[in-house]
Amino acid sequence: MTQAARRRSYEEFLSRFPEYASARSLDELRASDFARLDERGQTYLDYTGGALPARSHIERHMELLLSGVFGNPHSANPASSAMTALVERARRAALAYFHGGDDYALIFTPNASGALKLVGESFPFAPGGRFLAAADNHNSVNGIREFARARGARVDYAPLAVPALRLDLPAVRALLEEDDAGERLFAFPAQSNFTGVKHPLELVEEARARRWRVLLDAAAFAPSNRLDLSAVRPDFVTVSFYKMFGYPTGVGALLARHEALALLRRPWFAGGTVNFASVGAQRHRLARGEAAFEDGTLNYLSIPAVEMGLELMERTGVETIATRVRALTGWLLEELLALRHSNGRAMVRLYGPATVEHRGGTVTLNLYDPEGHLLDYRRVEELAGAEGISLRTGCFCNPGAGECAEGLTGAEMLAGYALGDDINLHSFLRLMQDSGRNKSAGAIRVSMGMVSNWDDVSKFVEFAEGFRDQTRLGIGQVTFDIDSCRVVRDGS
């Protein structure tokens, strides 16, 4: 596209999405803290995978570490005490950011998955109890079902409604209304990491009113939305801070209502989690509150960077981020749906809502050739990388949303399971193609975040346009033949 054409396209975009201009402060932030993107010609569209760290955030953290002496918090010596003070300050800052007040405790974990495992392994599942999960969930939530089953609890999935892949609310409410004698846990994401769907947070109170404990996965939601725990009050919330502001990695959190935390029963103890432990008596007493759940030594040198990241979010304005992400997502959806081959066939299939209503900045799709055959998303990712575009492909650790999106049946999934230890995403895709099913086992995901701009999104649209009328994907000297589903050398 020529510069003049790009300028006309941008002006037309602004006329359709004038709210984009109200977030100009993000352009200034990109120039000051993320200049490396444009200096290196990089188009980053993987914010759901992880946000990018701001230069000033890293510099501020490094300055702190180099200006003090900080030791392992589990002591009263000066270096340890100084570190303890910073860890507790970060804990208070995170609770304040999410408006947890005095009702919530915050437990630092390695990531959101670690927080989810804490809940799963400690929840009092038993015969007569139940674990209900949305079909649209990350595998780290799905894994909780193994704890529930091992202890005799019933496991159910709340279905999705096609084609938007939102929770089927009548079915969800019917499942919530069923009575059980034991403890019950309902888990769903505030925002899907697969489709970007924002599931209704009203379900939290509806479920709690029916005597359910509620686990809300906010990992994909928190980077561009405000989660206010004084208004929405789940029993457990999980987040990963690197998804919010890119740095530090290796630090997440479980926010838990105090009375829900008291319900959990840890299956073991570790260093730092006990007030008393004896080898001779073979007895132990867990510490109170969050200390009982923070196993061993925390990633203590990184934790002060959490407070700095939250301050960056506050200065930037999560509402400002949301405004820009919404505008970019709306334009991207419209442009992708308009793409057609010369014979009139659609080039793109979207998974999830086709509008920005109740959805975030995660857009998942597949590309198809003029005859309606699926283009291999793995090759698309390679070609995108050659253009300096960072996107993500695969199933995004969310099999339920993918199965529903592609209409994969239980029988087909069992056929994949029957492959034994040889099963992986690629072998399952081969199985589907060999059996004549034009179904995908994965997709292409592009996602916007804090400093995404129109140039990023328009570059991806131009890239997608390049597949018009193509049935073969070239990878350097290698070509992927869609019809035979095999790699061949040029000229062969």
Place of tokens 């038993």: 126
Contact criterion met (CB below 8 Å) for 426 and 472: no
Place of tokens 């709210």: 19
Query: Which among 346, 319, 335 has a CA at the least distance from the CA of 12?
Result: 335
Cα 450 to Cα 453: distance, rounded to the nearest angstrom: 9
User: Considering 395, 397, 404, 485, which one is annotated as catalytic?
Assistant: 397
- Angle, alpha carbons 215-219-222 (nearest 5°): 105
Contact criterion met (CB below 8 Å) for 329 and 196: yes
Is 397 part of the annotated catalytic residue set? yes
Contact criterion met (CB below 8 Å) for 26 and 324: yes
Query: Which among 218, 289, 286, 236 has a CA at the least distance from the CA of 123?
Result: 236
**Virtual torsion, Cα 76, 80, 81, 83, nearest 10 deg:** -160
Which conformational region is residue 420 in: left (phi greater than 0), alpha (psi within -120 to 50 degrees), or beta? left
User: For residue 197, what are its two tokens?
Assistant: 């769907």
Supply the residues annotated as catalytic. Answer: 397
